[in-house]
């Protein structure tokens, strides 16, 4: 399971998010298997996730991976449409090409989530999966970075009833940067529902 890559990894990541309680909305019109999910404790609150799933054999995550996710979040957030059709949008977003705004200021906020399977990396020992520049970029764009082993650990924690699927999805929504499986139990003790 740890050595999965490509479409097999993408299907398994989707399966885990579905098991946590998210709903697959659509594929976002993309040719690959990355997904657009939403989760909401009720019909009034909907939290949108855009998943980008990657695996690597030679080096850790790079900026190209998170920029690809950023492009998709930008398209789905409504900013592209607003710019083309002159809809009212935050002026700072226009001046900074969206970099000076938080995800909450997007027309339809979507949380970008990069799931990386770095278990295929050789040689051992493996370097940190998310280098500093990748983490910095993710934090400025309000993206969650998650390794495949951490996602599997989170699913295991849910099956053992140590945390709920809702707690995991809330933690993904609330994390700007790297989310580690062990931090979710602490997060669920100290945070209320979004």
Residue 179 lies in a domain: yes
| Residue 57 in tokens | 């054999």
Residue 29 lies in a domain: yes
Residue 83 lies in a domain: yes
Chain centroid to CA 1: how far?
20
> For position 94, what pLDDT does the model report?
46
Residue 1 lies in a domain: no
Give me the average pLDDT of each 10-residue run along the chain (194 residues): 77 89 66 58 69 83 90 75 55 48 53 85 74 94 93 93 89 92 69 48
Residue 102 lies in a domain: yes
Q: How far apart are CA 133 and CA 180, in angstroms?
A: 18
Domain count, the chain: 1
Question: How many contiguous H segments (helices) and E segments (strands) does the chain have?
Answer: 8, 6
Residue 15 lies in a domain: yes
Q: What sign results for the dihedral spanned by CA atoms 23, 66, 115, 2?
A: positive
Residue 24 lies in a domain: yes
CATH number for position 114: 3.40.91
Domain limits for position 86:
6-190
> For position 74, what pLDDT does the model report?
81
Residue 44 lies in a domain: yes
Query: By three-state DSSP, how is residue 147 classified?
Result: strand
């Amino acid at each position: 399971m740890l050595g999965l890559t490509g479409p097999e990894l993408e299907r398994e990541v989707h399966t885990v998010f579905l098991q946590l309680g998210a709903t697959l909305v659509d594929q976002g019109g993309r040719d690959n298997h990355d997904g657009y999910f939403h989760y909401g404790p009720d019909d009034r609150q909907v939290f949108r996730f855009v998943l980008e799933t990657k695996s690597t054999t030679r080096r850790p995550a790079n900026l190209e991976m998170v920029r690809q996710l950023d492009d998709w979040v930008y398209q789905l957030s409504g900013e592209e449409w607003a710019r083309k059709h002159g809809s009212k949008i935050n002026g700072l977003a226009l001046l900074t090409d969206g970099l000076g705004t938080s995800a909450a200021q997007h027309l339809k906020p979507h949380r970008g989530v990069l799931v990386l399977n770095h278990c295929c990396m050789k040689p051992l020992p493996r370097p940190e999966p998310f280098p500093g520049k990748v983490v910095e970029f993710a934090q400025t764009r309000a993206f969650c970075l998650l390794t495949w082993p951490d996602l599997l650990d989170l699913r295991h924690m849910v099956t053992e009833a140590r945390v709920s699927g809702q707690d995991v999805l809330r933690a993904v929504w609330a994390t700007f940067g790297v989310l580690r499986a062990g931090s979710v139990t602490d997060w669920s003790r100290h945070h209320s529902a979004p």
